[in-house]
Every structure is written in structure tokens, then in C-alpha cells.
A and B are shown apart, each in its own frame.
Chain A
Amino acid sequence: MSDHGAYRDEMDLNELTDGELELLLSGREPQEPGNEELAEFLSEVKAVYARGPAKQTARAHVAALVEAAGRTAVQESAPTAGRGPSSKWRLGVPKRRLALLSAAVVLGILLLFAGLAAAGVNLPGVARAPFDGFGIQLPNQARADSVKGVIRSTAPDQRDCSFGQQIAGAANAGRGGPPEDPCSQQGAHGTGPGPDPDRHAGRSFGDQTSASAHHGASHETQASGEQTSQAGRGSGQAEASSSPPPEPETPTSPPPEPQAPTSPPQQPQTSTTPPQSETGRGIAEQQSQTGQAVGQAQSQAAKVNASQASGGHGP
């Protein structure tokens, strides 16, 4: 049979409807002619193969099925006897795992909060609540409620040094503060504990004046150098006469930063002054040199005074 013949056979079958194919497969001849042999063969296949086993074999099979079904029915009807412990065990393992997982998650969250607190993060009250419940105090936590309470309980006109200390104590929340009452050390300076800031101020003034005198050559700079050096000298003398000997610095309070320079802003260089004439320029140069020399001398004197006032701490 050629390929053309096979194709023709398939095309013949393609012309059959689904209903006619069903008839053909059930062994009945469809209306379309040319498929009689095929219908007969399919009917023959069914007749030859679609039969059960011999009677004895069928009896043995049915008996085996009934026995197997009885075993299956017994297993199905007795779930508590056979499956009780195993099902409990099967259910218990996931429950235990679930509990362990939950505990690990909670512990992880608590450790995370504790780590954040140790790193200096101020945690909200919700995050602190579990620790407070167990009496655990997290580090670096400002007590906003306590601070607010101190602020509310103190009238604005009564807020002095002790008020500040109360605020600090509430914010520190028992972490410890200065060993002594800082308010009792409030003396002539009125600036609280720590090294005397005026001493540093006098020294810094002197330094700044010296620097500006080195750079400045105009009359304005010269005048400002004189003024500031006098101010620094006066301040240093006042310090030397009024301040007690310096106390050792406490490690808890860092020394205050030197104050911002109060000298007038540095004026532009002399080259920027408009020349009027050569004579005028010469006079200006002489005056500038003279002023520079005077400024240097005065700044050195101010430095000496400042160093004496600071008790040897100066440069």
C-alpha cells in the first residue's frame, strides 16, 4: 500500500462524523460505505478479547478482593486504635516546630531592640514595654515621659540650675550623673561645672589677634589688632586676678569648645586699598609696617598675659 493509499484512507475516515466514528468503534457499520471491513474487525476484536477469565480464576480473584476489602475496611473503621499515637506524633512535630519558631522570632525581635538600644537608638514605648515588664532597663533610652513630667511640674519662672539637673536626671533615668551636685559649684562664673571657659577665651582671643596682626597691614586691621589685644589682655588680667586655681577636669564633662572669634572680620589685603599717589603710597606703607610691628608686640604681650592667666597651659 502506497503513502497515497494511506492518505486516502485517512481522508475517508476524516469524512466521518464523530457519531459515525462512534458507531464504527462499537462494531456497527456507519452509513458511509467503504468501512464495513473495519467495523467487522473492531467487532471481532471486542468479541475475542473482551471476556473475563475462567470461572475458577474469577472465583479466586473475587475471593481475594473480598479479603483485601475486609482488611481495608477494618483499617478504615478503626482509626483510633491504629492511627491514634502516630497521628498525635505527626501533629505534635509541627506544633513543636511552630512553638520553637515563634519563640525564636520573639527572641530575635527582643535582641534586635536591645541591640538598637545599645547602639544609641531611642526606642518607642511599645518596643520598651516588654523589657519594662520584665524589669529590664535598656541602655541609652531617654525617658520622654519623665522629662515631660519634670517640665510640667516646674513653673517657667522657677527653672534654674536644679531644674536642669532634674531634667538631666529624668533623661538619664538612673544611669548615673555627676558625683556632686553641680548646682552647688555654681560660683563666680555662673557657667556650671567644668574648666573655666573664660580662660580659653582669653587665650583664643590672643591667638586670633596675633594671626590677624600678622596678616593685616591696613590701618583698620592695625586698629582692630590693638583693640582686641587690649581686650584679650584685659580679660587675661581679670582672669588672673579673680579665678581660683584650676581644678582637675572631671572626665564626665568634656571641656567646652573655645568661643567663636569675636574679632572683626579680616579686612582685605593692603594691595586692595586704592593708591592715591606715590607719596601717599609710601606713607601708607610706612604706617602699615609700623602698625604691623605694634600689633605683633601687643599680641605677644597678650599671649604672655593669657598664658599666665591660664597657669601654664598657654602656648
Chain B
Amino acid sequence: MHEAAIGKGFDGVLDAARAGHGWAWAAIYRQLSPAVLGYLRALGVPEPDDVGAEVFLHMVRDLPRFEGGEGEFRTWVLTIAHNRLVDERRIIKRRPVEVIPVEEIEHGEVGRSAEEDALAKISEQRAFELLRRLSDEQQSVILLRVLGDLSITQVAAVLGRTPGAVKALQRRGLATLKRELSSLKVSS
């Protein structure tokens, strides 16, 4: 499932990143930022770019203690992102803020045409609403599987659950999505 993995050169990239080489950090950021930022966006984190930047800075700070391959590295970074998400949710519960949809902020920033932007906005809105029908854990499981390209075991490591529990959450989440998609089709 790792379509955009660094591959065999991962260890060299990681060593170069530890040594402070900019190109290595650019490669790591390019590789992981879509998953990290997409996960934060899909779960409704306000200002996902800022939270994502904090996730990467946390990664830089703890990188000397990291050991493992590319799969473990991806799991580790998404674990940081998930923990940061939990913190953000806790902060929002204590101090509610008005959430501005991301697509409104990013409108026109990614070089898309107006038609493409409109279609993307509709798709994002629909996906966002459908995902809200799931429980928090079901959302996390589905998004980590789809956006993070993590296996059941890796998702279990991120969420601190057993693989069996993750499998059950995934199955129920997919069933809910299938049911909601069917109901939308009937209503339309």
C-alpha cells in the first residue's frame, strides 16, 4: 500500500536528515505531509497546517531516539499526529473555537481552476459529512488505513489497541459508510 515510499534509500535519507541536510528533510516532508495533514484535516482539526508543523518539529526533536525502518518511521510520525489530534480535541472541548472549513482557506492556493475547486469542495464536504457518521475511533482507523497507508497492526500501534479491535472497528466503519452511501443514493 506504500505507493510513495522512499524505499531502499530510506536509511540514507534518515541519516542525512539527522545530519541536518535540507534535501533529506524535504524528502521526508514530501513523503509524509500528505498523510499527516490529510489525517488532521479529515478529522476537523482547526489550522491543520500549524498542527502539522508542530508534529514535524516534534519528530525532529525525538529523531535521535528513533530506531527502525520506513514502516516504523511512518507509524511513529502518524502516532505523533494522532496524539497531537487528541490534544487538540481536548483543547477544543475546554475552549471551543469556530472551525473554518479548510477548503475556504486554501481556495486558490493549490493552482486549481475554479471548476476544479468547486468540485473538490463538493467532494470534500461530502466526504467530511459522511465521515462524521462514524465514531472517532472508526474515523481514525479508516483514515489511517486510507490516508496513512498503515496496516492493521500499525494502526493498532498508533491507537494503542489490539489488531482484533482495529479489525472490528474497520469492519463496522466500512459497513456504516456503505449504508450511508446507499441511503444517499436512494435520496438523490
Chain A interface residues (CB < 8 Å from chain B) = 1, 5-6, 9-10, 12-14, 21-22, 24-27, 35, 37-38, 41-42, 44-54, 57-58, 61-66, 68-70, 72-73, 76
CA distance A6 to B185 in the complex (A): 16
Number of interface residues of B (CB under 8 A): 57
Contacts of A44 in B (CB 8 A): 123, 126-127
Least CB distance, A79 to chain B, in whole angstroms: 11
Contacts of A1 in B (CB 8 A): 179, 182-183
- Taking A38-B174, A49-B39, A61-B56 as given, write out 13 further A-B residue pairs in contact, using a Cβ cutoff of 8 Å, ordered by the A residue number: A1-B183, A5-B179, A9-B182, A10-B172, A22-B1, A27-B146, A35-B178, A37-B178, A45-B142, A46-B146, A49-B124, A53-B49, A65-B28
Residue with the greatest number of chain B CB neighbours at <10 A, chosen from A44, A52, A73: A52
- Knowing A65-B25, A65-B29, the reply to whether A38 touches B181 (Cβ < 8 A) is yes
CA distance A76 to B63 in the complex (A): 11
Whether the Cβ atoms of B171 and A25 lie closer than 8 Å is no
Least CB distance, B50 to chain A, in whole angstroms: 9
Whether a CB of chain A sits under 8 angstroms from the CB of B33 is yes
Least CB distance, A269 to chain B, in whole angstroms: 94
Whether the Cβ atoms of B64 and A38 lie closer than 8 Å is no
Which stretch of B15-23, B67-75, B76-84, B89-97 is in the interface?
Answer: B15-23
CA distance A298 to B147 in the complex (A): 125
CA distance A30 to B79 in the complex (A): 29
CA distance A26 to B130 in the complex (A): 18
Contacts of B60 in A (CB 8 A): 65, 68-69, 72
CA distance A1 to B130 in the complex (A): 15
CA distance A25 to B166 in the complex (A): 14
- Knowing A50-B35, A52-B34, A54-B106, the reply to whether A37 touches B120 (Cβ < 8 A) is no
Name the CB-closest residue of B to A14. B171
Whether a CB of chain A sits under 8 angstroms from the CB of B53 is yes
Tell me which of B18, B26, B52, B146 contacts A25 (CB under 8 A).
B146
CA distance A44 to B41 in the complex (A): 14
CA distance A5 to B180 in the complex (A): 11
Contacts of A42 in B (CB 8 A): 142, 146, 177
Contacts of A46 in B (CB 8 A): 38, 146-147
Contacts of B17 in A (CB 8 A): 69
Name the CB-closest residue of B to A70. B20
Contacts of A58 in B (CB 8 A): 29-30, 33
Least CB distance, B158 to chain A, in whole angstroms: 15
Contacts of B147 in A (CB 8 A): 45-46, 49-50
Q: Within residues 104 to 162 of chain B, which ones have a CB less than 8 A from any CB in chain A? A: 106, 109-110, 120, 123-124, 126-127, 130-131, 142-143, 145-147
Whether the Cβ atoms of A47 and B179 lie closer than 8 Å is no
Least CB distance, B146 to chain A, in whole angstroms: 5
Whether a CB of chain A sits under 8 angstroms from the CB of B85 is no
Contacts of B61 in A (CB 8 A): 68, 72
| 25 cross-chain CB contacts under 8 A | A6-B179, A22-B1, A35-B178, A41-B127, A41-B177, A42-B142, A44-B123, A45-B131, A45-B142, A45-B147, A46-B38, A49-B147, A50-B38, A51-B110, A52-B30, A54-B106, A54-B109, A61-B49, A66-B20, A68-B61, A69-B25, A69-B63, A70-B20, A72-B60, A72-B61
Whether the Cβ atoms of A41 and B145 lie closer than 8 Å is no
Tell me which of A13, A27, A66 contacts B22 (CB under 8 A).
A66
Least CB distance, B139 to chain A, in whole angstroms: 11
Name the CB-closest residue of B to A73. B20
Least CB distance, A118 to chain B, in whole angstroms: 57
10 pairs of A and B residues whose beta carbons are closest in the complex: A49-B38, A10-B175, A50-B38, A54-B109, A9-B175, A70-B20, A52-B33, A68-B60, A50-B34, A66-B22
Whether the Cβ atoms of A13 and B146 lie closer than 8 Å is no
